[in-house]
Structure 1
Amino acid sequence: MILSESSQGNSLMGSVCSCKRDHYADENITRRGFSGRYFKFGSSKWLESSLFLPATCCQFQQSRRPSLMELCICKICKDIDKYRSFSMLPRDISQLIFNHLVDSCSLSDSRIEAFRDCALHDMCMREHTRVNNKWMDVISSQGSSLLSAYISSTEVTDFGLSLLRNCSNLQALGLDCCDKISAPGIKHIAGLTNLESLTIRNCKFITDSDLKPLAGLVNLKELQISCSDITNVGVSYLRDLYKLVVLNLEGSVVTASCLDYLTALTSLKSLNVNRCHLLDDGCEKFSALSSLKELNLGFNNITDTCLVQLEGMTKLEGLYLDSCRISNDGLAHLAGLTNLEDLNLSFTSVTDSGLKELSGLTSLRSLNLDARQITDSGLAVLTSLTGLTHLDLFGAQITDSGTKYLSYFKNLQSLDLCGGRLTDAGVKNIKDLTSLMLLNLSQNLKLSDTALELLSGLTSLVSLNVSNSRITSDGLQHLKPLKNLRSLYLEYCGVTASEIKKLQATTLPNLVRYRPNE
């Protein structure tokens, strides 16, 4: 690859090897943009945290040599202030440069200008809070090429949104926490008739009447409107969105009566009414949504009575009941939901004896039992769930003896075990779970350097948390084989940030997030 810097405008030009355009057509990464990352609302959403975001552009996996393309992108990003425009580059190269700058939080008012008229497909800003109307002008300059854009917690106003009228092919748009957007801005969005994904979560000035223009977005498949001022009236404006598959109403002040409007949405597969203050009264209406595959009822004032209405929802694959007033009796109504893959029962009143009702749910892949009343006995009755890949026992009272039951879960990729009762002896039963990628053993005060030695064979680990333990700097040597480690938490241990940084520099170059930090 040959790069040259023009003295007139410093445009980056030359004979450039182009990546396949199909690389940016991935439905879950770029064309759908932020959809998978920001729209998911399952109990295992912590798995989609930033530890899976790409590392900064100059960090390459130690297991292979960087490609020529990567070396060039790294060099460009290092010297980014030398270039005024990338519009002469092939689009996929400009996209790579843009993505790396976003990943390393290196965009600025001057640097964003270099991407004007680059015909980018995706402009996902993640949590960049400095986005303003000037940035929106650059975003809109991508014209009909732009397929997805995400901005959050920004200074963008209604005028900034009006600039998007040039992006007629926009399919995914995220505007979370944009507090300067109001009704006129929503009307501008309504003109983007190709939109399939739209999120306007936590925008303070969005009310029921603002949702009325959205009724014209007939291609919308995913809508996130978690705003505290939305009521049943606002939901009524959505009843003609027949293609809607995912609807998030989290934090709204709706009642179960809103389900009358949702029954008209025959394509609806995923519904989030988390934190909507729902009661048992009216919950019989859930039975009409028998095609749902995902239902989030977390943090509502519902009891076992509501679960009776879920018995016929046999297509459910994800059910989230965290912090609801659910007891052992309610679990009996879930026994027939044999397609369930993801179940969240954290902070409910469920005890060990009630977990017997789950033993037949052999399709379960993710189970959250973050509740202090769950003990070794509860874990013992779950050993039939051998397909589990994610198990959250964060606050459960699991002891060293109880960890022997973990051997039944050979496919575990993530495990939380933070009830404070583990010692190094219990870690012996974790060391053979070789598929683990995320492991959280924090709050177990008796863990020592021996625990790290036992875990040294878990080479698939991406994230490890052993905070609040007796681990010291001497134990860090045992982490050297964990070449995939990107996130390490050792807060309130006998380890300093400089010692972790030294380990990062010499042995673990992929480590991009650690605590304590300087």
Structure 2
Amino acid sequence: MASGSVESLDQLPTALLATIMTKLDISSISSLAVTCRNFNSCASQILSFLPNFHILDISPSMELIKPLLPPNPYLKSLKLDCGQLNDSSVELLLRPSLQELCLHNCADFSGKLLSEIGLRCKDVRSLYLGSVAEKRGRAVHISDLEELLRGCTQLEALNLMFDISLFLRHNFARVWGLATEKLSSLEIGYISSVTVTELLSPNVGPHQCPNQIRPSILPGIQKLSLSVDYITDTMVSTISKGLILLTHLELRDAPLIEPRVTFDLTNSGLQQINQHGRLKHLSLVRSQEFLITYFKRVNDLGILLMADKCAKMESICLGGFCRVTDTGFKTILHSCSSLYKLKVSHGSQLTDLVFHDIAATSLSLTHVSLRWCNLLSNHAVRSLVCNLGLKVLDLRDCKSLGDEALRAISSLCKLKMLLLDGSDITDAGIAYLNRGIISSLVSLSVRGCKKLTDKCISALFDGSSKLELQELDLSNLPGLSDNGVLTLAKSRVPISELRMRQCPLIGDTSVMALASMQVDDDRGHGSSLQLLDLYNCGGITPLSFRWLKKPYFPRLRWLGVTGSVNRDIVDALARNRPFLHVACHGEELGTDPWNDSDGLYMHDYEEMDELEQWLQEGEGESDDEEMEDAEDDLLME
């Protein structure tokens, strides 16, 4: 190398290094910070200049987050999991320079969070608040919402992912009247249908003459997403009439009791949809979270009436329409020539005939979800695959699908996500994926496919190289044992999320194999797993926990185990790895309770590995010793 030249990056001038690092995100900065002292020092300094600060896969405490968020007039975007924070962190988090603010898991905050955002973040354009005041003793008042809407005059997108139904209704419309006309996207975690109707109805104002109509509330809304108690004709009609710019409408309900006709959706309500002709994306879903119930007052006629006004629709999601038959669903396929996304759940009368002549249409579907459509067979899948551009195919709980469906699916070379839970496939059928689409798949789920055994692992991965697979769900497979997991570990597939819950033959050997697994050289060494679900696996003993502590599974962020294995060891593991979410009660891992979409979303856990090291530099090994003591105590019992 020529004399006077720089032999390594850490020899660059500090000012130049800082300029380069301000262009990076927090994950890249963390990666650099743990490589040498110069980079570590520079990383600490440039935190005062970063435009974006995003940490969503761990819940940092106030002590950890405070040094990472010094005064920074350049900070534009802040995304944070606030699971360990409360009102005392408001001053630290809320900066006047922010234009995007996304705060998840705000259960320990009160409504003060909303009012303070209105006072401190007047230039924010996109705001997401999750689970605000859900912890006992916390509350959100209508005045807090008022301060938020009054202060944030530049707001364009607002996501309030918590229950706002407790606000006093007589002030509700007045407060929302303060919202800026720039607001174009609104999502609410829970609100009653009556409140929505009253909010958007063009009624006479309280101080107006009878012939003077109140101006429309939220006139600029283009995207509206609501979870309500009941989807009703009145609410749908009011939304359709009042929001003239609406292009996205997503409504989801979860009735506690069977709806009466006045609190339900009927054919008449469907006819009111898209009165202004701008709607491109429609989702109407009746959840069975609390009660097994359906849209029993909607039939094919309602779908026909709706389809007349929905020719330009690009995305349709219908859940719980049990009386709609092939006639109604075919009408959608043949009327909506621009449709690329179709989701139907609990379509109890949907059969293969819906897709019999789909090749004759001009459709180019990329996302298809047909969950709990039990009358579908292999014939429907053979018809569907004429859409060679399919990227997402969700056929969960279609119990009649077998190996012939997999043979057809193997021709979809662009497929990224395939969900086959509860189907009748076998190890032989899985082999079709190896010959076709395994190299393109990012997510595969065969949960509850009872005929699968250890052989499905070798059938899937033998001879494959350079795989993109990141998520694999092998839960509830009674024929899957440690031998299958050993084969998986040897395949060196860079899986980041592995679910094997309710597998009785999975034991300690599987954990040891996964802890020792090395992925290919291009992706680095060591286990790539960031989520591991072993809940209720029959062979897991306290021995496994020796392999779950550091330095094994360096990237692990979510772990599901059975708490009864030994509570002391589970607690010690949680303390040993403070950024690891340990679930012991059977809850699903890595899911957002407010988001049940089937979109292809991959967590970027990688950024947290070096961040954890950076944050905890210099800490002692007391947690390791504590966990070893718990293990020793158990072995002596």
Same fold (TM over 0.5): yes
Measured after TM superposition, the shift of residue 225 of structure 1 is 1.8
Tell me which residue corresponds to 2:345.
298
Aligned length: 460
In structure 2, give the amino acid aligned to 1:361: L
Say if 2:172 is the partner of 1:178.
Answer: no
Tell me which residue corresponds to 2:503.
444
Q: Contact conserved, 1:259 with 1:285, CA < 8 A, in 2?
A: no
Q: Contact conserved, 2:388 with 2:414, CA < 8 A, in 1?
A: yes
Which of the residues 493, 512, 517 maps onto 2:580?
512
Q: Contact conserved, 2:420 with 2:445, CA < 8 A, in 1?
A: yes
Tell me which residue corresponds to 1:45.
none
Measured after TM superposition, the shift of residue 417 of structure 1 is 0.6
CA distance in 2, matches of 1:78, 1:492: 29
Inter-CA distance 487–146: structure 2 relative to 1 (3 Å threshold): same
CA shift digits 1:404-441 (9 cap, x unpaired): 22215832101011212111111133112422000011
In structure 1, give the amino acid aligned to 2:181: T
Of 212-221 and 115-124, more deviation after overlay is shown by 212-221
Q: Contact conserved, 2:574 with 2:580, CA < 8 A, in 1?
A: no
Runs of 5+ unmatched residues, structure 1: 1-16, 30-53
Inter-CA distance 224–276: structure 2 relative to 1 (3 Å threshold): farther
Tell me which residue corresponds to 2:608.
none
Inter-CA distance 318–245: structure 2 relative to 1 (3 Å threshold): farther
Say if 2:469 is the partner of 1:412.
Answer: yes
Say if 2:146 is the partner of 1:162.
Answer: yes
Measured after TM superposition, the shift of residue 496 of structure 1 is 4.7
Which of the residues 427, 435, 444 maps onto 1:391?
444
Say if 2:324 is the partner of 1:279.
Answer: yes
Q: Contact conserved, 1:315 with 1:337, CA < 8 A, in 2?
A: yes
CA distance in 2, matches of 1:60, 1:500: 32
Say if 2:421 is the partner of 1:370.
Answer: yes
Inter-CA distance 457–21: structure 2 relative to 1 (3 Å threshold): closer
Q: Contact conserved, 2:160 with 2:188, CA < 8 A, in 1?
A: yes
Measured after TM superposition, the shift of residue 483 of structure 1 is 1.0
Measured after TM superposition, the shift of residue 401 of structure 1 is 1.6
Of 403-412 and 496-505, more deviation after overlay is shown by 496-505
Measured after TM superposition, the shift of residue 170 of structure 1 is 0.7
SS at match of 1:194: coil
In structure 2, give the amino acid aligned to 1:224: S
Measured after TM superposition, the shift of residue 462 of structure 1 is 0.4
Of 253-262 and 128-137, more deviation after overlay is shown by 253-262
CA distance in 2, matches of 1:20, 1:194: 34
Q: Contact conserved, 1:208 with 1:233, CA < 8 A, in 2?
A: yes
SS at match of 2:387: coil
CA distance in 2, matches of 1:474, 1:246: 51
Tell me which residue corresponds to 2:208.
none
CA distance in 2, matches of 1:202, 1:389: 32
CA distance in 1, matches of 2:155, 2:89: 23
Inter-CA distance 296–232: structure 2 relative to 1 (3 Å threshold): farther
Give me the identity figure in percent: 21
CA shift digits 1:66-106 (9 cap, x unpaired): 63159999999329999xxx9x943456976xx56x53431
Of 111-120 and 322-331, more deviation after overlay is shown by 111-120
Say if 2:74 is the partner of 1:105.
Answer: no
Which of the residues 240, 247, 257 maps onto 2:249?
247
Say if 2:244 is the partner of 1:195.
Answer: no
What is the root-mean-square deviation in Å for CA atoms of aligned residues? 4.3
CA distance in 1, matches of 2:571, 2:76: 35
Tell me which residue corresponds to 1:473.
542
Measured after TM superposition, the shift of residue 117 of structure 1 is 6.9
Inter-CA distance 243–338: structure 2 relative to 1 (3 Å threshold): farther
CA distance in 1, matches of 2:541, 2:580: 21
Measured after TM superposition, the shift of residue 140 of structure 1 is 0.9
In structure 2, give the amino acid aligned to 1:273: L
CA distance in 1, matches of 2:570, 2:396: 36
CA distance in 1, matches of 2:235, 2:362: 26
Which of the residues 348, 351, 365 maps onto 2:401?
351
Tell me which residue corresponds to 1:457.
517
Q: Contact conserved, 1:248 with 1:271, CA < 8 A, in 2?
A: no
Of 319-328 and 296-305, more deviation after overlay is shown by 296-305
Q: Contact conserved, 1:61 with 1:510, CA < 8 A, in 2?
A: no
In structure 1, give the amino acid aligned to 2:582: Y
Q: Contact conserved, 2:406 with 2:432, CA < 8 A, in 1?
A: yes
SS at match of 2:488: coil
Q: Contact conserved, 2:86 with 2:109, CA < 8 A, in 1?
A: no
Measured after TM superposition, the shift of residue 131 of structure 1 is 4.7
Q: Contact conserved, 2:557 with 2:581, CA < 8 A, in 1?
A: yes
Measured after TM superposition, the shift of residue 514 of structure 1 is 1.6
Inter-CA distance 19–516: structure 2 relative to 1 (3 Å threshold): farther
Measured after TM superposition, the shift of residue 149 of structure 1 is 2.4
Measured after TM superposition, the shift of residue 285 of structure 1 is 4.1
